[in-house]
Structure 1
Amino acid sequence: MIELDYTNRFKKSLSKLSSNQKDLVGKALKLFVIDPHHQDLDFKKRSGSKYHTIRADIRLRIAMTKTGDRFYLLELTGNHDDINSLDRQRR
């Protein structure tokens, strides 16, 4: 089973979401822990990036880094532009 931890940045990005979006993020993370490769999540490693993403809904993504065999650190949740900003911040 997958284990998760989160950064302060993730916590801050989550706090900016509507209650409906927070529910979607929670549901996606619960499913990810049970079945990370479930088709609804669209789990993938971003090309040329250290980040992996899953989908909470059509516009909402969750970015994370793999920190161990079954451990992931939640980095940010938001739309595509928010997630893309993670890679720009690393440069």
Structure 2
Amino acid sequence: MSCHPTDFKGSIIDALKQAVEAKIPDSQAEVSGGGGHFSIDVTSPAFAGKNMLESQRMVYGAISHLMAGDMAPVHAIDSLKTRTPSGA
């Protein structure tokens, strides 16, 4: 049984980046990885005043549709970093 990343319009990396940036205000997401395992680094002023867990829940909420079901293109997030912009 194998995953077929080509079943998606664009790449899964692009889908993750777009999902995060669409759901989290003024965010910039950097995504890397493949084979169902990805690393995400998100910078947004929306994280100001939130602890790490709250910020990470925002990101997981934005990408949950890409992690749902047996044939989900995203199996794991190996690294998730959230931060506010410098000077924010």
Between structure 1 and structure 2, the one with the greater Rg is 2
Give the TM-score normalised by structure 1.
0.28
Give the TM-score normalised by structure 2.
0.29
